[in-house]
Amino acid sequence: MLKRILLCVLALAALMGLASCRRAAVIPPDAPPVVIEPNPSPDGETPNVPETPETPDVPETPDVPAAPAPHPYPGPDVELVPYNGVVEHLFFHPVVAYPELAFDGDYKEKGIDDYMVTVSEYVKMLQSMYDKGYILVDINDVWSEVVDENGKAKMVRNTLMIPEGKKPLVLSYDDVNYYDYMLKNGFTYKLVIQEGELWSYGLDPKGNPVYSQDLDAVTILDKFVREHPDFSLNGAKGCLSITGYEGILGYRTHTDKNDTSEEAAKRRAQEIEAVKPIIQMLKDTGWTFGCHSWGHINLSSSSTEKIKADTERWFDEVGSLVGPTKIYFYPFGARPDGSDVNQTGPSFKYLQSVGFRVFASVGIDSYSKIKSDISAVICDRMHADGMTLRNQRDRYMKFYDAKEVFDQSRPDYGVSWS
């Protein structure tokens, strides 16, 4: 893993105004730069009630050597300057590889149009954000946990050291699970390793198997950063926000309490072995992971007991594979306990107690707030999707122009711009 050597926590930074946005807290000037580790995820083995649903007939992932170590940007010749402004945070869902399958008039069409972007839109968005001077940073580098003079843990905003003129950007990707419904609707099927790099596997509209680096959000960004190394600070890519109920990354690693057969257990064990090198390669190439709950549950309408059970299952089935994470992405953007902004309720306290420190919702800007009563950060992410492409051109102009990006193969639901 690349050492993030270019990041520092400066007490001085508080004096410079460490607001990560207009509503964010400010680090006290005496905050000592002691970084402590989050609580580790439970490392338990998965329960013995496994099941794997019918998976597509996918060729074996070939055994290939690991990817060569990337050459991170910036090199020693690039001058770095402290950055304490807003760190923009934009998130995507999986991207539509085949619009003709996604936008075919079936009952999933509208949801896909609302929440996803197509490959052609995604590529244009990345190019635009690069052209506008954004540079990808690791979400785990934006805040640190420190211990104050009273021995109390709290989160502080780090001063990022970035190349002059660049603007830091966090990308996250929700539901990188390759759900069954996606496979039938124009998305890739899974990530695989070939020739020491990540590729996607899937079927084209005629049913032919396709290995590609041009059809999946992960491999497209990997390729873009290979071609534009100065789009990534120290090799950072994005944070993958994953659930557990249909496995992860295209591998059916989840349990099904209705199928406790030996055959299902064997299939599941095979999928777990198959996904391990994918996870490792993602980590080696700048990707990180976050929790999106096991069952994509709505935290605002779930009891703390339900949230506990769901989170434990996520640790068992997902955390045991992807490793510890401090990041929790609320499904549906729904905040626990009614709100996490003005109160810290029992569900939030529970999630914090098992190691989460950064809690991400969805909003109209890259809002963030360091909570004062508990060691945690809450934040909003902007959403690159069909809804904002159609209706929020102005708000997203800082990243890209919807008019230039919009894929004409989308169905005719109208746009607010002309």
Binding site residues, Zn ion, CB under 5 A: 174-175, 331
Residue 124, H or E segment: helix 119-131
CA–CA separation, 95 vs 88, rounded Å? 20
Q: How far is the CB of 308 from Zn ion (least distance, A)?
A: 20
Closest to Zn ion by CB, 226 or 296: 296
Amino acid at 133: G
Burial of 345 (0-12, 13-18, 19+ CB in 10 A): middle
| Residue appearing with tokens 């909570």 | 371
Closest to Zn ion by CB, 168 or 331: 331
Residue 1, H or E segment: none
User: Strands 358-362, 327-329: parallel, antiparallel or unpaired by DSSP?
Assistant: parallel
Q: How far is the CB of 219 from Zn ion (least distance, A)?
A: 21
Buried b (16+ CB within 10 A) or exposed e, 65-86: eebeebebbbeeeeeeeebbeb
| Residue appearing with tokens 């626990």 | 336
Closest to Zn ion by CB, 4 or 381: 381
Closest to Zn ion by CB, 72 or 290: 290
Q: How far is the CB of 147 from Zn ion (least distance, A)?
A: 34
- Both tokens of residue 301? 């309408």
Q: How far is the CB of 110 from Zn ion (least distance, A)?
A: 16
| Residue appearing with tokens 């496995």 | 247
Closest to Zn ion by CB, 153 or 362: 362
Q: How far is the CB of 329 from Zn ion (least distance, A)?
A: 7
Tabulate helix, strand, coil % of the chain (nearest 5): 30, 20, 50
Closest to Zn ion by CB, 156 or 327: 327
Considering only CA atoms, which of 195, 193, 378, 201 is closest in space to residue 299?
Answer: 378
Neighbours of 262 (CB within 10 A): 8
Cβ(292)–Cβ(322) under 8 Å? no
CA–CA separation, 187 vs 93, rounded Å? 11
Closest to Zn ion by CB, 175 or 222: 175
Residue 34, H or E segment: none
Q: How far is the CB of 346 from Zn ion (least distance, A)?
A: 23
User: Strands 377-383, 88-92: parallel, antiparallel or unpaired by DSSP?
Assistant: parallel
Closest to Zn ion by CB, 174 or 380: 174
Neighbours of 181 (CB within 10 A): 13
Closest to Zn ion by CB, 174 or 246: 174
